């Protein structure tokens, strides 16, 4: 049996608001992604000041993205109530399938754009996390090597003779 689909609904202000919100969400994701990439460049350059600045900008962009996400959820909730559906089951795809084809295509394009930018952001953040982890491991290894070399160094006392005991100091040799 072929399912009879309802004829497409004309765009209401909710669908137009959803399109505008998805557009804003895609833009906010692009901004967040750009700051994540700048953070990555700063990490690679070992520029702590720029890492801090870019990270601060990421937090601002994330706050804006969260605000937009709440607005999108509010629109979906209103749309679900208007159409007698449970909010938890309403997706952009559901709405796109019930509106005029041009608007439906626009909604789906924007939803895919947001999803792609979030996937790109996840990849950059994962890379940044790996870079920071490697740098911290390297710094830790250098510190452990330094401390190990110091602990294993010869102990010398007054007059340059090797001596055990509390008055002895460790010789650290640096060759260039």
Look at residue 161 in the predicted model and tell me its pLDDT.
60
The domains of the chain are located at: 13-124
Angle at 52 between CA 46 and CA 58, to 5 degrees: 120
The more confident residue out of 74 and 5 is: 74
The more confident residue out of 150 and 68 is: 68
Mean pLDDT of 133-140: 83
Mean pLDDT of 85-89: 90
Residue 166 has pLDDT above 80, yes or no: no
Mean pLDDT of 96-114: 95
155 DSSP β-pair partners: 170
The more confident residue out of 91 and 4 is: 91
The more confident residue out of 151 and 56 is: 56
For residue 23, count CB atoms less than 10 angstroms from its CB and return exposed for 0-12, middle for 13-18, buried for 19 or more. middle
The DSSP-derived string for 34-52 is HHHHHHHHHHHTT-HHHHH
The DSSP-derived string for 6-18 is PPPBPP-HHHHHH
Q: What is the pLDDT of the chain when averaged over all its residues?
A: 83
Task: Return the closest-CA partner of residue 129 out of 54, 43, 12.
Answer: 43
């Amino acid at each position: 049996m072929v399912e009879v689909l309802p004829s497409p609904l004309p765009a209401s202000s909710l669908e137009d608001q959803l399109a505008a919100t998805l557009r804003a969400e895609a833009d906010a994701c692009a901004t967040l992604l750009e700051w994540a990439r700048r953070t990555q460049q700063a990490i690679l350059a070992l520029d702590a000041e720029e890492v801090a600045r870019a990270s601060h900008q990421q937090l601002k962009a994330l706050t804006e993205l969260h605000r937009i996400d709440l607005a999108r959820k509010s629109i979906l909730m209103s749309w679900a109530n208007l159409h007698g559906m449970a909010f938890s089951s309403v997706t952009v795809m559901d709405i796109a399938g019930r509106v005029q084809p041009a608007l439906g295509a626009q909604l789906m394009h924007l939803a895919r754009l947001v999803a792609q930018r979030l996937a790109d952001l996840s990849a950059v953040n994962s890379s940044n996390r790996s870079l920071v982890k490697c740098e911290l491991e390297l710094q830790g290894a250098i510190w452990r090597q330094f401390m190990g070399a110091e602990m294993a160094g010869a102990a010398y006392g007054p007059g340059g003779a090797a001596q055990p005991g509390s008055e002895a100091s460790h010789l650290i040799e640096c060759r260039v």
